[in-house]
Structure 1
């Protein structure tokens, strides 16, 4: 992970997060507008079945099932209370280089943990299926 990678750091900035909300189902007369979502650190990450998935670019928490009255900051804090991006006391543009690198280090830890946990889950699922196949063979069910 290159801490200077432009793709890796561009989502720290509101404008870049806001650009991801093309096609967001809520845009006016509600709390979860694209602007409020982006302010709360979210990027729009829709799937085929769920057009309203939003993910924090920093803590990687995904939330869906948004209602017009949902406050993005409150939802983010309630579902990911330890998100350090939400805990920032100043704008990203005002961070010192040291503060930014500490933040980026924490973000990389989150990414590594998520990647590892996803790989473990896939392995465990594959092992479960393999085990079931072995049991079937041993029982003469195939």
Structure 2
């Protein structure tokens, strides 16, 4: 997946309903506290790639990835205990309860995270290019 495609995909994950759609083979059902809806409302979307990581989930905002979920785990509590600085966790509200100012603060943090990630990617690519040029120069 290209960087631009990944950004477009993650933008759609602002919505609980879009996050719910990612949980195709979630191992827990609606009777469990750790169900799809509760996961999505706590900011998580599924990043499972197979049976080995069927319960892998990631926060759409802070990027914290967690697995090893138990049926009675509370997604909000787990998110808070592993990523207490996440702006979404700090609000502690479902998407439909957010005030406009709170939603904008989440969007702002998302944009900051996005720019930081892009900056790291560009820095890494630039470092790799510099190493390549350096090796070429040393061979001369």
Please say whether Structure 1 and Structure 2 have the same fold, judged by a TM-score greater than 0.5. Answer: yes
Q: Is the partner of 1:55 in helix, strand or coil?
A: strand
Aligned pair 1:46/2:48, yes or no? yes
Please report the TM-score for the alignment, with normalisation by the length of structure 2: 0.68
Give the deviation of 1:52 after TM superposition. 1.1
Q: Is the partner of 1:85 in helix, strand or coil?
A: helix
Instruction: Please show how residues 1-142 of structure 1 align to structure 2 within 5 Å.
Output: 7=9, 9-48=11-50, 49-88=52-91, 91-93=94-96, 95=98, 99-117=102-120
CA distance in 1, matches of 2:97, 2:28: 30
8 Å CA contact 2:41–2:94 kept in 1: the answer is no
Structure 1 residue ranges without an equivalent (≥5): 125-142
Give the deviation of 1:123 after TM superposition. 8.9
> What is the number of residues matched between the two proteins?
127
**Aligned-residue CA RMSD (Å):** 3.4
Please report the TM-score for the alignment, with normalisation by the length of structure 1: 0.67
CA distance 1:120–1:51, change in 2 (3 Å): farther
Give the deviation of 1:77 after TM superposition. 0.2
Give the deviation of 1:83 after TM superposition. 1.1
CA distance 1:45–1:6, change in 2 (3 Å): closer
Give the deviation of 1:54 after TM superposition. 0.4
CA distance in 2, matches of 1:52, 1:103: 25
CA distance 1:75–1:123, change in 2 (3 Å): farther
Give the deviation of 1:120 after TM superposition. 6.6
Which has the larger Rg? 1
